Amino acid sequence: MEDLKYQIDLLTALNERLLASEKMYRHIAEMSGTLFAYFDYKCSPVKVDLVGPWDDMVGEKIANHPYDESYMLNLLLDEDQDKFRIHMLEIEREGSETDSVEVRSRNKRFWLSCLANVTYDDEHKPLEKIIAIKDITKIRMNSEELEYLAYYDSLTGVYNRNYFVRKFRDMCELADSEKVSVEIMFVDIDDFKKINDSIGLLFGDELVQEFGQYLKDFNNDETLVGRFGSDVFVIAVYNPCGSRSCDVIYRKIQERLRHPFTLTNKTEIMITVSCGVAEYPDAGRTALEVIKNAEIVLYKSKERGKGGIQYFELDILNKFIRNVSIEKQLKEAIETSGFQLYYQPQYNASDGKLRGAEALLRWPDPEGEGFITSPSEFIPIAEKNGAIIPIGNYVIKEALKTMSDWRNKYHIPMILSINISAMQLEKENFVDSLSREITLNGVNPESIEIEITESVFINNFEDVIDKIKTLRGLGIRVSLDDFGTGYSSLSYLKNLPIDTLKIDKSFIDTALKDDSSGIIYESVIQMARRLGFETVAEGVETKEQFNYLRERNIDIIQGYLLGKPISKVEFEKLLIRQVP
């Protein structure tokens, strides 16, 4: 009796322990987020035990359903049932985890990762089977998203930069083996900054999106479309021929751009785009080189105006490489003050007396005799990258120091003309710093003339006019340089508060050769006189030109005939001769 009670107690205790551990296992299964099904084939009918968060996964209480495989399958869309069954059979056979399977229920898409473990008897009949199913939909979705982001531009849906470059490289490799070429075209929205400023960043994005989606339609097996930057797209065409080429795409884009893009706020926007095209392997040895060169010619296309297309040319590349090298050397020259000023004399046409000089910048070669390059090449580069500001400051300081020296040494009344770039004049403190420098050097403001070109009026006419008026109020003279090369209309001249008009060399070069140019030259001189401006003829090289100009009452003559630009020391020799 005692024995039996002991046995019952022992069994109860064991049972309790079993129940407790079963509870623990169920708990663990629940927490793991994995669905388990245990099949016991030894029982008849087969006993199935479900463990894990089945209810959550299926979306209904399934504990009451007797589980069988068809129940599970019926939860899926008809067309996915076979797929799932085959997948399960495969993993039962393989006995290991295979790739996940994508299935759909009536209202959801799942990614399931499945495991199976089957034990067999000697006759290879299954004894037991455990399957484990994990819902990895979230992980899959994230990685799909990541995959998308890795390849595509999220704003427009075209390839992103990295992936485009990869695919373009592959294309070039294939082109090598098939002995064909690949074209690449940069497509860049003109004045995109201005558009952004006027419609706002958000609508700017929408515009890029609209345009990108339009370009995306060109994408196919032989044509890649990608986005490299805010408004920069690239299109590559494999083995261009016939109607399949960047040129044709360019023309189609032009056609599309005749109509505006309509944004969600109903704004209609017209845009133009500039394009640059280069071809592999003609325009570079590697895919990357060709991409770089297409970008370089894009900038050339922009320089030439909006809406254009520019094809790769070796000259453009060489010029670009030269400019980059000049830019680098300019930086060094600024740091080491490696510049110098030359002075070219100007004479009164009537009595041949020295009127003064124009200060002209020189860039001596520190290693050689001559100059690195002429200001007509390096000044435009300096104007583009902002280096003109420190360079211009040097010119002002140096010119005024020279004027101060000459004044103290020779006491000859003369005017020194200093070239001033638009960017310098636009600086807030330009007037103050120039007049401070004049005072500092004890120079008479009336002996200083600044030379500006018409380009200074492009951006903010009113502002510039105000500055010029202030300068003239201080006694400083203002001269309009290169007249005849820009927009030069005689009618706008009358509104300009200037003292001197410098007529460009190109005028005198043609005036003697052809009558109509001569007539224009004459009327410019007359008009300028009537408006009260002093006239200067630049680039006078021959006696014939000199006489012609004097007969037409030009005031001042500057040019190689009377004197080339010379160093300060050389110019002083000329001044000594002037001293009475």
Q: Between 169 and 362, whose beta carbon lies closer to ligand C2E?
A: 362
Number of residues that bind ligand C2E (CB under 6 A): 20
Helix (H, G, I), strand (E, B) or coil at 556: strand
d(C-alpha 403, C-alpha 427), whole Å: 24
Q: Between 118 and 389, whose beta carbon lies closer to ligand C2E?
A: 389
25 binds, among ligand C2E, Ca ion, none (CB under 5 to 8 A by kind): none
| Least distance between Ca ion and beta carbon 485 (Å) | 8
d(C-alpha 207, C-alpha 263), whole Å: 7
Q: Between 231 and 358, whose beta carbon lies closer to ligand C2E?
A: 358
Note whether 481 binds ligand C2E by CB under 6 A.
yes
Q: Between 240 and 392, whose beta carbon lies closer to ligand C2E?
A: 392
Q: Judging by DSSP bridges, how do beta strands 448-452 and 415-419 pair with one another?
A: parallel
Note whether 361 binds ligand C2E by CB under 6 A.
yes
Note whether 545 binds ligand C2E by CB under 6 A.
no
| Least distance between ligand C2E and beta carbon 504 (Å) | 7
Residue ranges binding Ca ion (CB under 5 A):
419, 451, 481-482, 538
Note whether 560 binds ligand C2E by CB under 6 A.
yes
Helix (H, G, I), strand (E, B) or coil at 153: coil
Sheet holding 309-311, edge to edge: 223-229, 232-238, 182-189, 273-280, 309-311
Note whether 398 binds ligand C2E by CB under 6 A.
no
Note whether 423 binds ligand C2E by CB under 6 A.
no
d(C-alpha 323, C-alpha 315), whole Å: 12
Q: Between 142 and 510, whose beta carbon lies closer to Ca ion?
A: 510
> Cis omega (within 30 of 0) on the bond before 45?
yes
Instruction: Quote the DSSP letter at residue 366.
Output: T
At a CB cut-off of 8 Å and minimum separation 6, what does 528 contact? 493, 501, 535
- Looking at 249, 291, 297, 395, which residue binds ligand C2E (CB under 6 A)? 395
565 binds, among ligand C2E, Ca ion, none (CB under 5 to 8 A by kind): ligand C2E
Q: Between 188 and 451, whose beta carbon lies closer to Ca ion?
A: 451
Q: Between 281 and 375, whose beta carbon lies closer to ligand C2E?
A: 375
Q: Between 157 and 375, whose beta carbon lies closer to Ca ion?
A: 375
- Contact predicate 297/316, CB 8 Å: yes
| Least distance between ligand C2E and beta carbon 436 (Å) | 19
Q: Between 184 and 480, whose beta carbon lies closer to ligand C2E?
A: 480
CA angle in degrees (0–180, nearest 5) for 271-276-279: 145
- Looking at 419, 447, 535, 545, which residue binds ligand C2E (CB under 6 A)? 419
Amino acid at 12: T
For 270-370, list the strands marked E by DSSP. 273-280, 309-311, 340-348, 354-362
Note whether 360 binds ligand C2E by CB under 6 A.
yes
Note whether 559 binds ligand C2E by CB under 6 A.
yes
Q: Is the dihedral of CA 25, 30, 36, 40 positive or negative?
A: positive
Note whether 565 binds ligand C2E by CB under 6 A.
yes
| Least distance between Ca ion and beta carbon 196 (Å) | 37
d(C-alpha 128, C-alpha 119), whole Å: 5
236: closest CA among 293, 277, 207, 275?
277
Q: Mark the segment that binds ligand C2E (CB under 6 A) among 27-35, 112-120, 265-273, 534-542.
A: 534-542
Note whether 374 binds ligand C2E by CB under 6 A.
yes
Note whether 543 binds ligand C2E by CB under 6 A.
no
Amino acid at 63: A
Integer angstrom CA distances of residue 297 from 112, 279, 314, 322, 466: 51, 12, 10, 14, 39
Report residue 549 CA to chain centroid gap.
49
Report residue 538 CA to chain centroid gap.
40
Q: Mark the segment that binds ligand C2E (CB under 6 A) among 183-191, 198-206, 527-535, 557-565.
A: 557-565
- Contact predicate 57/35, CB 8 Å: yes
Q: Between 132 and 480, whose beta carbon lies closer to Ca ion?
A: 480
Q: Judging by DSSP bridges, how do beta strands 261-262 and 232-238 pair with one another?
A: unpaired
Q: Mark the segment that binds ligand C2E (CB under 6 A) among 65-73, 169-177, 371-379, 429-437.
A: 371-379
d(C-alpha 202, C-alpha 530), whole Å: 54
| Least distance between ligand C2E and beta carbon 556 (Å) | 13
| Least distance between ligand C2E and beta carbon 546 (Å) | 11
Q: Where are the alpha helices (DSSP H) in 152-189?
A: 161-178
Q: Between 233 and 394, whose beta carbon lies closer to ligand C2E?
A: 394
Q: Mark the segment that binds ligand C2E (CB under 6 A) among 26-34, 94-102, 126-134, 535-543.
A: 535-543
> Cis omega (within 30 of 0) on the bond before 126?
no
Note whether 544 binds ligand C2E by CB under 6 A.
no
- Looking at 344, 346, 402, 479, which residue binds ligand C2E (CB under 6 A)? 344
d(C-alpha 433, C-alpha 427), whole Å: 10
6 binds, among ligand C2E, Ca ion, none (CB under 5 to 8 A by kind): none
Specify the DSSP element, H or E, that contains 184: strand 182-189
Q: Between 231 and 482, whose beta carbon lies closer to Ca ion?
A: 482
**Token digits of residue 284:** 């570079």
Q: Which residues bind ligand C2E (CB under 6 A)?
A: 344, 360-361, 374-376, 379, 392, 395, 419, 421, 481-482, 538-541, 559-560, 565
